[in-house]
Amino acid sequence: MKILFYDAKSYDRESFSAALPAFPEVEIEYTKSDLDPRTAALAEGFDAVCAFVSSNVNAVTLEILRQKQIGLVLLRCAGYNNVDLEAAEKYDIRVMRVPGYSPEAVAEHAMALALASNRRLYKAYNKVRENDFSLSGLMGFNFYEKTAGIVGTGRIGAAMCRICRGFGMKILAYDVFPNPELKEFVEYVPFERILSDSDVISLHCPLTDSTYHLINIDTIQKMKDGVILVNTSRGALVKTDDLIEGIRMHKFAGVGLDVYEEETDNVFEDRSDEILEHSTTARLLSFPNVMITSHQGFFTREALSSIAETTLQNAMDFLQGAASPNDVKRA
Ligand code: NAI
């Protein structure tokens, strides 16, 4: 089975090459191009394509893939909001993902963002490098005995709940399907109470029609003053213009974002030589209490090797016609 691996980075080659010997039926060819309607035709002669969160797997992409006899899209990520599942069904293309490669990787990064923005670590780091040892602008608050509000308590949200418990926080959660494993130390409440009672709010639900712009000016106004907001899930859960308005209203002690709305344009690219002055991300970065990272939550050694192994096992299940819990189906 031949797989065309789109948007291949050196770390992808490393982790997949290390896992490949256990899957002798699978061959991989890597390309730096990402999958979109312009590059889908490169898949001629392959059986499957491997794509990522940054790929544009829309109806046009899928139509071209079908013309090239591709029967499988292997997503080497958990989220699949970038795939037109209706079109995949129409063109009879199986879509598989890696649902839970290392929830702790993302949850640990979410807590890192919460702590870094609370204690202004990025500012402290730069100050000390400039020989400025004053503490002005660095005051934070204790997380101990404060309230964490976790939105979405699947794999990553549950890991975040466990981390918050370790910090001695009270944990409120909102989920359409409460997680029974958490009931001993997590109180499920309506979303409104997450907003009104939390000192730290962390988003861990998927991006769907019902979660699009979940954080907007109405929901921001209902939050406590001095709240910390963390988003490691998907950028469009937060309406960026409204977030900027909220920051201007001094609603937030800190904002930590690993994902942002403009991400599909610049995900994982080095854009250090470009002027991004018109982007909303650049506007966000102009605030001293905002910390942004470039979708690196998943980026740990353990997560990358787990992603490679599960993706290759997904390929084998496809080859053998086996059912899999990693199939992505239309709701
Ligand atoms: P999961 O599927 O295990 O959990 C998601 C939870 O959200 C489920 O419990 C579900 O019931 C809940 N949910 C669904 N709709 C909801 C709604 N309207 N309101 C509240 N809760 C709702 O997913 P997992 O593995 O925990 O991942 C969560 C998200 O994290 C992914 O969808 C993805 O967008 C993001 N992610 C980010 C990464 C990063 O590197 N920053 C890496 C991996 C995932």
Q: For residue 135, how many C-alpha atoms fall within 13 Å in the half-sphere facing its CB? A: 3
CATH superfamily of 103-292: NAD(P)-binding Rossmann-like Domain (3.40.50.720)
6 token code pair: 């789109």
How far, in Å, from the CA of 309 to the mean position of ligand 1? 21
Do domains 2-101+300-319 and 103-292 share one topology? The answer is yes
User: What amino acid positions are annotated as catalytic residues?
Assistant: 234, 263, 295
Which 3 state secondary structure label does DSSP give 188?
Answer: strand
Closest ligand 1 atom to residue 100 Cα is 25
Tell me how many degrees the CA angle 212-214-218 measures, rounded to the nearest 5. 130
pLDDT in tens, the chain (331 residues): 999 999 999 999 999 999 999 999 999 999 999 999 999 999 999 999 999 988 999 999 999 999 999 999 999 998 899 999 999 999 999 999 999 889 999 999 999 999 999 999 999 999 999 999 999 999 999 999 999 999 999 999 999 999 999 999 999 999 999 999 999 999 999 999 999 999 999 999 999 999 999 999 999 999 999 999 999 999 999 999 999 999 999 999 999 999 998 876 555 566 666 555 567 888 898 899 999 999 999 999 999 999 999 999 999 999 999 999 999 987 7
* Residue 263 Cβ < 6 Å to ligand 1: no
Structural domain boundaries in the chain:
2-101+300-319, 103-292
Q: What is the CATH number of domain 2-101+300-319?
A: 3.40.50.720
- DSSP string spanning 46-93? -SEEEE-TT--B-HHHHHHHHHTT--EEEESSS--TTB-HHHHHHTT-
Find the Cα–Cα–Cα–Cα dihedral 90, 234, 36, 209, rounded to 10°: 30
Query: Which residue from 52, 161, 188, 204 has its CB within 8 A of the most atoms of ligand 1, so it is best to mutate?
Result: 204
How far, in Å, from the CA of 155 to the mean position of ligand 1? 7
Find the Cα–Cα–Cα–Cα dihedral 42, 312, 75, 33, rounded to 10°: -30
Tell me how many degrees the CA angle 116-164-168 measures, rounded to the nearest 5. 105
